[in-house]
Amino acid sequence: MKRTEPKYLSVQNYLKQQIQQGIYNPEDFIPSENELCRQFSITRTTARKALDELIKEGFIERIHGKGSRVRERRHTLGLLNVKGFSEAVGEGVNTKFLQPPVRTFWSDEIILPVSEEDKNAPCIQFERLRFVGKTPVMLEKNWFPDTILPEFLQSEFVDGSFFKTLSQRYLIEIIGSTQEIRSEFASEKHARLFGIKTDDPLLHISIKFSTSNRKLTIYSELYCDTSAYPVGNSYYL
């Protein structure tokens, strides 16, 4: 016998998708408990439970006397925080694809262990150089299994953001990560990209992102030139 989904969970998932798809944006107020009761024919207890779960997940916050408002989602991931590169840095940011998304093989450059399940699947890889003004500040390389995101290679990123694309197009959220951080000398390629010397230091950050889809893990290698812009507590994709 098929198990019926709890009513609060149906309401919670409906509202979450509305937020992920941009129907409700940060600072917008979502329907009140009374409005949810009328819309879904549920009790106030059920409506409150759905909203409480969204609060726990970081999607909304309660504003006294006004209702429930969509939060700007910033998931804490150990040392790093995830949000949009342009949003975090402000105006004057630019991105250049050195390698647009392509179907390829897993790379030995990935530091953190790739799972056996992922190794047995083809992967998608892309590589971008991120600028503040005309200054290159971060090289990012990303890999993930080519089994989860249909038509990914045929579509552009939402607002230039990989994470926003995952959230709005595929309803997938970043929920955690494993990270390693090291300092190393710039290789010839990296020195050329950043306009620095081969013996200048770069910050190398390896990240293994877990997502709300247990079958999707994202492997990232970041190289940051911190001489002009120090690294704070945020990471952007």
| Co-location of 63 and 86 in the same domain | no
Place of tokens 């190398």: 204
Task: Work out how many domains the chain is built from and give that number.
Answer: 2
Per the confidence metrics, is the pTM higher than 0.85?
no
| Per-residue pLDDT at 229 | 65
| Co-location of 211 and 159 in the same domain | yes
| Co-location of 39 and 118 in the same domain | no
Q: Give the residue-averaged pLDDT of 92-97.
A: 84
| Per-residue pLDDT at 125 | 98
| Co-location of 163 and 107 in the same domain | yes
| Co-location of 51 and 123 in the same domain | no
Among 25-29, 91-95, 181-185, the minimum mean pLDDT is found in: 91-95
Which CATH number goes with the domain that contains 128? 3.40.1410.10
- Alpha carbon distance 122, 185 (integer Å): 31
| Co-location of 51 and 165 in the same domain | no
| Co-location of 83 and 155 in the same domain | yes
Its domain, for residue 12, covers 7-70
Buried b (16+ CB within 10 A) or exposed e, 115-152: eeebeeeebbbbbbbbbbeeebbbbbbbbbbbebbeeb
